Chains A and B, each alone.
Chain A
Amino acid sequence: MDIAKFKEMFLNEATEHLEIMVNILLQLDSNPDDPEGIDALFREAHSIKGMAATMEYGETARLAHHLEDRLDGCRQAQRISGVEIDWLLEATDLLGLLLSDIRSDQAERNVDRFIVSTPKEQVADATVVDEPREIVPDSSKKGVLIQLKLHDTVAAPGPRFLVLLKRLTDFGTILKSTPSKEDLLQGEAPVQLLVRLETDLEQEELCQQLEKYSELKDISFPPEDEPAKKQKKQPTGKTVRISTELLDHFINLAGELITNRYQLQNALKKRDWNELDDGVGQMVRLVKNLHHQVLQVRMVSLESLAGRLSRTVHDLSRNSEKEITFETDGMDIELDRAIVEELTDPLIHMVRNAVDHGIDQAGTVTVKAWRERDQVLVEVADNGCGIDPEKIRQRALTVGLLSSLQAKSIRNYDLFQLICQPGFSTVEEVNETSGRGVGMDVVKTAVEHVGGILSIDSSPGAGTRFILKLPLSLAIIRVLIVESDGTRMAMPITRVVQTVEIAAADVQSSGKQLMIHYLDELLPLLSLRKILRRPKGDPHDPVSVVITEVLGRKVGLVVDRLIRQQEVFVQRLPEPFDQIRGCSGGTILGSGEIVFLLDLQSLFERRRS
């Protein structure tokens, strides 16, 4: 039984509609007389209602229908009030909860109380009370549910289903069909047709009629109460929507790779080096293309995240009575789905911080995203009161994060990183500056977890900017390969600030600690051999150093050799190796050599502890 498949589709689509509703509502909030916005809102509610009714999610359908009615009123009035926008936002929250009920296979929560809470404006109550019943299916008129599936070889599934649907009308009245006749006429080619037919015929007779269609692989009559029970075991699997265009690309590429394979085999047989060379060149192109296309599948834009952020700002500014303008830019930038998911909460947190602590009475919060080569940068900025570096310095001294010597020499850039230290602001003294640190350690950890870097810039009175430097993808990334004690290791390029080779004579020592000059800074040198507890090697000259940033400070990591940069496919290590600290995965190089991916963050943490 495939109802579970539809459920997943329903949930995905309904969630999208809901996100769009929230976005439109927030736009209407600043421009309540926009009839097109109200129309669009109406259509979204209508779509949700239609889908929910088809799936027989009664409460969801009832609420969506109620919203639709209400919005119809707004449509006629050509405007929407602030009270209504707030109420509708609450309604979208409730719809979200209903969807999570459905997702977790629980009975939908009742929406009566919410419907009663409808603000009394514009819409006549009569329509509200009467109509919702209409869409809740009348159990006496339920009809029989028929599920039809075609053989994979059927030439034109869409038209075939259309013929079947028309044929079924000879046997009774079609109460509902998924997809509908209109969808089929639009060219939809589904894997199955689900029809609710009101008929006098017995199942057997229907079956006999339908069996005349040898195109049908499967004719079944799913029992009514089965879906809910069966779904219980269904884990909430992650699905990705992918355009047929992209699928076609894959098929074409697969085809070309097959041709390429024969070309190579042939060239090898004939020992024709020129053709072999051609073939390999062709393969390089194909694989690169394939890689690019595959990445597309996992990519999502920041659009939906922008909606949530905008919502956060809206709610916060209502509650705190601050006047906040929220601006976004570059939300069409796409990132690996896993990265967007991982960063959703941290970004909401940062935006919340900006409203709560950054801005005093009125101001602007901006979220901007842009591409820089194979990285994506996301900036959360406010034009509020900013952070006073002096206050951080004092605080760091009090908490013991800095010695008095360090406190004098530390640069502002590094100083701001300190607010991401766990415990920096957990002490009860919550003022403007320390308040900003709430949870920033969580944010920083999340950013670094996906292989990114968080940087902070601020000055008193000029607002604060948080910049997240992120990789595009988690699976295939660019790494720097280094060698230490005869072993090659890789580190994500996003974590590398720069690689330098320094004459041994230019290495200075300050007590036990070796230091180098980098730009105008003095950076401590750490040896990868030492961190990995490998034996000390012969001194190199020049010394190969990877400048990286850990725990908010730049350091120079000494390696035996810098090998090269390349793109690799990173695989997570299986249990129990995933527990090894300092190693976040592995990859196999073209030579067959296994190379581990260094997780610098946890390596250094291990070292410190």
Chain B
Amino acid sequence: MAKRVLIVDDALFMRTMLGDIFTEAGWQVVSEAEDGKAAINEYRIHQPDLVTMDIVMPEMGGIEALKGILSEFPEANIVVCSALGQKKLILDAINAGALDFIVKPFQSRQVLEVVDRVISG
């Protein structure tokens, strides 16, 4: 059965791009979310194998959402996405429990490598 991913990003463009990468690699994109609150809800509903989480989003940011999800589902596999130059945020996210990170702009190869590591590890 195909692995299931939840894509969280406030930019439609990023969601679409990530969605394409995952679909091409044989994943099922179970849902998308535009902010942290929606992300927690969608996680509860679908409990996917993986979440890609943007860090900077309106309403509730990625780090808070990440903590929210992990407090309910400690086994959740979450990878954060962040623009170059947000090193501090990435560090905080990892410290809060993100398993890995992807730096935008990214290539599909890089995304899939990170994802494979997280899922197989």
Of A158, A170, A209, which contacts B91 at CB under 8 A? A158
Q: Which of B12-20, B63-71, B113-121 contacts A (4 or more CB under 8 A)?
A: B113-121
A187 interface neighbour in B91, B113, B121, Cβ under 8 Å? B91
User: Of B91, B101, B113, B121, which one neighbours A185 at CB under 8 angstroms?
Assistant: B91
What is the CA–CA distance of A213 and B120 in the complex, to the nearest angstrom?
A: 12
Kindly list chain A residues whose C-beta atoms are within 8 Å of the C-beta of B103.
155-156
Expressed in whole angstroms, the minimum distance between the Cβ of B2 and any Cβ of chain A is 21
Contact size class for A?
Answer: 10 to 19
Which of A166, A170, A209, A213 is in CB contact (< 8 Å) with B94?
A166
* Complex CA distance for A166 and B113, rounded to whole angstroms: 17
CB-CB contacts of A162-206 with B at 8 A, as 1s and 0s?
110011001000000000000011010100000000000000000
**Does A159 count as interface, using CB distance less than 8 angstroms?**
yes
Look across to chain A and name the residue whose beta carbon is closest to the beta carbon of B97.
Answer: A166
Q: Specify the chain B residue showing the minimal Cβ separation from A155.
A: B103
B94 and A163 within 8 A (CB): yes
The closest CB in chain B to the CB of A154 belongs to B103
Q: List A contacts of B44 (CB < 8 A).
A: none
In the complex, A133→B80 CA distance in Å? 42
Which label, helix, strand, loop or mixed, suits the secondary structure of the B interface? helix
Q: Which residues of A contact B100 (CB under 8 A)?
A: 163
With contacts A163-B100, A167-B121 taken as known, whether A158 is within 8 angstroms of B87 at the C-beta atoms is: yes
Nearest residue (CB) in B for A212 is B117
Closest to A157 in B: B87
Judge whether B121 and A159 touch: CB under 8 Å.
no
> Is A214 part of the contact surface with B, judged by Cβ < 8 Å?
yes
Mask, B79-121, CB within 8 Å of A = 1, is: 0000010011011001100011101000000000100110011
B120 near A212: Cβ-Cβ < 8 Å:
yes
**B88 & A163 in contact (Cβ 8 Å cutoff):** no
Q: On chain B, which size bracket covers the interface?
A: 10 to 19
Residues on the A chain within 8 Å of B117, using CB: 212-213
The reply to whether B90 and A156 contact each other, CB–CB distance below 8 Å, is yes
Minimum Cβ distance to chain B for residue A238 (Å): 31
Interface of chain B residues 44 through 69 with chain A (CB within 8 A): none
Q: Which chain A residues border B95 with CB–CB below 8 Å?
A: 162, 185
CB pair A212 B87 closer than 8 Å: no
A212-B120, A214-B113 given; A162·B94 CB < 8 A: yes
A163–B113 CA distance with the chains assembled, in angstroms: 14
| Selected contact of A155 from candidates B84, B94, B99, B121, CB within 8 Å | B84
Bound CA–CA A212/B88 (angstroms): 25
> Is the pair A184, B113 in contact by a Cβ cutoff of 8 Å?
no
Complex contacts, A189 vs chain B, CB 8 Å: 87
Residues of B within 8 A of A159 (CB): 87, 90-91, 94, 101
Best-buried of A155, A159, A185, A189 by chain B (most CB within 10 Å): A159
Known: A213-B117, A214-B113. A156 touches B94 (CB 8 A): no
Known: A159-B94, A159-B101, A187-B88. 15 other contacts (CB 8 A): A155-B84, A155-B103, A156-B84, A156-B101, A159-B91, A162-B91, A162-B94, A163-B101, A185-B91, A185-B95, A187-B87, A187-B91, A212-B117, A212-B121, A214-B113
Residues of A within 8 A of B (CB): 155-156, 158-159, 162-163, 166-167, 170, 184-185, 187, 189, 209, 212-214
Please list the 10 inter-chain residue pairs (A to B) with the smallest Cβ-Cβ separation, ordered nearest first. A155-B103, A159-B90, A212-B117, A162-B94, A185-B91, A156-B87, A163-B100, A159-B91, A155-B84, A156-B103
